[in-house]
Structure 1
């Protein structure tokens, strides 16, 4: 299979970070082997950014498939123009891609471009806090969601602005390749692996990756990939090259959990997924590494799960 394409649609006076943040996420993910191809189009072959850096790009659109993503970064907009930020041809391209099963997304004022394309109507969306009232008035058939990082509704994904494009992109990597992939990309970029859009945080892999301690991340990498195996503390400490006491202290300080408790949470999450798809408690317990179902039943009885 060819890599999934991420196509950025560049608008004059775009904010560099609106573009560079998510572009770096997908580029880093590709470097780590997750298969993304990043490309850029605009209505002219040169676009001036709000920060004064000119960008060279392409006018011709590549062939897109349903698995591809089209993303519109935001632009400098204290007030939105009464005129559409993109022409009719690009608006039609956005509509066609979504209609064919593709995903479209925006950062900050990029939501206005999706609105002009008719893709916000009947859907929930978000944008930068300075623009929420204006866009709510402009698109009364859509529902604005305030004070969140991003909103996903029927393959139309909007984010709040500027750095939230990174959170949006990490979320999409997690959807495509799993929470561990998003955590690896975030660690490589030295950013927090946040996934807090308008939904509750669901993944322990990401929920406990919001730190910058390299040793703890290395231990998590081991546990994330081998959570179903028996991982004695002495073995983990030996892999990292520290004492068991040091490992426990550093890991607990960084994540709020002991290594064993973190592994149990990963096992519990996977077991709940299996049970939700028809597995028995006994088979789910064996699959995730418990010798029998008693420990799984005890963990499931904690409501909510204590972390």
Structure 2
């Protein structure tokens, strides 16, 4: 099996290095795979200015049904250039790979390459949240989803920006080798919080923080780090020298939700992350996240799905 990486002009380094490192680590653990590198220009320079050197032209890649083609994202200005639009032969080649049932995976705005190849027509897909509206406008037949980390439909996989490429690569690895093997790789990469397709690009750890009240920020930080602790309103209020009634009022005013709603969001998010670990039972996850019972957790997860 081959996993081929296309190195486009102005490549975003983490879009390339993240998925590549997943499979490099997997090889060290026994995954039998050949990692290959191709381009459609003789030499490339990354968006950060790092020269990439010469790699083989894409026409020398011989990919079959069991193989994967990863295309990392690139500097957005390049995608709007005449130079990019002129790469019609490359777009046709990508389409031909997909037609042969090669699994084509885009990271971040490399979804535009798939769009130019006609591979997004009538398919669900995603890209970096900054480019969701633009991708939909440029390829109106695509079904662009903005609130997900990656989408896998047929043999066309698309992921959101930057680090989401790691999530997609781990998902591919799990399809190939199973959850236990993939967990080993994630641990080796120090990626302890594996995220699934159900995770959103937005983060509960950043949401509801667009205010400047230091007391509310302190309470939010405390809740994040003490999901299973004693989070009664009296204890939270004493933490920031406010009355319980005043804390409840100010928290709702600054964040738009109640303390209990915020805490529940945090607990569910942490639980979804923990449940990706095959070693954790539902009972253990529920206890670690502050739920009274596993049934309470399962009921909440069912309600949001």
- Displacement of 1:257 after TM fit? 5.6
What is the aligned partner in structure 1 of residue 196 from structure 2? 196
Q: Secondary structure at the match of 2:127?
A: coil
Q: Secondary structure at the match of 2:11?
A: coil
Distance 1:72 1:121 in 2: 18
Distance 1:34 1:193 in 2: 22
Q: Secondary structure at the match of 1:109?
A: helix
The partner residue of 1:24 within 21, 25, 35 is 21
**Gapped runs of 5+ residues in structure 1?**
211-216, 225-250, 259-264, 266-298
Distance 1:30 1:80 in 2: 33
Q: Show the 5 A alignment for 1:137-148.
A: 137-148=137-148
1:205–1:109: structure 2 CA closer, same or farther, 3 Å change rule?
Answer: closer
For 1:138-190, what per-residue CA distance to the aligned partner results, in whole angstroms no more than 9, with x for missing partners?
01001110121001111111101101000000000001111112111100000
Q: Secondary structure at the match of 1:74?
A: coil
- Displacement of 1:20 after TM fit? 0.1
What is the aligned partner in structure 2 of residue 10 from structure 1? 7
1:100–1:206: structure 2 CA closer, same or farther, 3 Å change rule?
Answer: farther
What is the aligned partner in structure 2 of residue 165 from structure 1? 165
Distance 2:101 2:143 in 1: 22
State the TM-score, normalized to the length of structure 2: 0.65
- Displacement of 1:137 after TM fit? 0.3
* Mapped pair 1:63 → 2:70: no
* Mapped pair 1:37 → 2:28: no
Instruction: Report the RMSD for the aligned CA atoms in angstroms.
Output: 3.2
Distance 1:19 1:108 in 2: 10
- Displacement of 1:85 after TM fit? 5.6
Q: Secondary structure at the match of 1:168?
A: helix
Distance 1:85 1:69 in 2: 24
* Mapped pair 1:53 → 2:50: yes
- Displacement of 1:87 after TM fit? 1.7
Distance 2:275 2:155 in 1: 27
* Mapped pair 1:133 → 2:133: yes
* Alpha-carbon contact 2:8-2:41 (below 8 Å) kept: no
* Alpha-carbon contact 2:11-2:47 (below 8 Å) kept: yes
What is the aligned partner in structure 1 of residue 179 from structure 2? 179
Q: Show the 5 A alignment for 1:212-291.
A: 220=279, 255-256=285-286
State the TM-score, normalized to the length of structure 1: 0.65
What is the aligned partner in structure 2 of residue 77 from structure 1? 76
What is the aligned partner in structure 1 of residue 97 from structure 2? 97
Distance 2:181 2:273 in 1: 10
Distance 1:182 1:85 in 2: 38
